[in-house]
Amino acid sequence: MMGADTADFIRMLAVAVIPVLFGITLHEVAHGRVARLFGDRTAEMLGRLSLNPLRHVDPLGTVIVPLLMLWLGGFLFGWARPVPVNARALHDPRRAMVLVAAAGPLTNLAMAYLWALSLHLTRALYTVAPGAAEFFSQMASFGIFFNVLLCLFNLVPVPPLDGGRVLRGLLPEAVGQRLDALERWGLIIVVALLASGVLGQILRPLFDGAQRLVLAAAGII
């Protein structure tokens, strides 16, 4: 017989899988599409503008590590296959890279808003199918949570995160080169900030504010 913890975990996966796959897929596609808009067709030629999640999933970072973190009750952490961008192929590379990097998080913010709008539909569904309404309400709520979190996390100004790319394009060149030197240690820095709880303390008030803003914009609160 399936234990309660296992059943809850499977239900959580069922609720989360669609928001997660949409969130990471459209995030990466947004990077590639804006890059193509500015002249770089690398992602397009590699088939990375596809809406097929399998083209963007990293088996370790998108599946194994997040599942392990959730199962152990730790912080949610993972990654997708980054869309390749050839800065030398971009028109006005400095400005273009800022927009390419910002496209992913902004797309997640837009998806959070769409998930919030869908809560209106789930409320209407409660009168005819309360079980299905409860499930889809949980899915929509997770979609808001995940996309707001993905947006803010990626905007942390540490390379190779999107926020680091945006900051690189806004800084004077001399300072930007110092930021480039930090990139090799970027992932270690991010993991250390997560594990220590420092990043959570910084992001929590921003997350709460952004989530309230999304819900208010959708007319939920």
For residue 215, what are the CA distances in angstroms to 48, 148, 200?
A: 31, 11, 21
Q: Let me know if 183 is a catalytic residue.
A: no
Q: What is the DSSP letter of 53?
A: G
Whether 77 and 191 have beta carbons less than 8 Å apart is answered as yes
* Tokens at 37, concatenated: 């808009």
Whether 121 and 132 have beta carbons less than 8 Å apart is answered as no
Whether 93 and 87 have beta carbons less than 8 Å apart is answered as yes
Per annotation, catalytic residue among 28, 44, 134, 183: 28
Q: How far is residue 85's CA from residue 219's CA, in Å, rounded to a whole number?
A: 37
Active site residues: 28
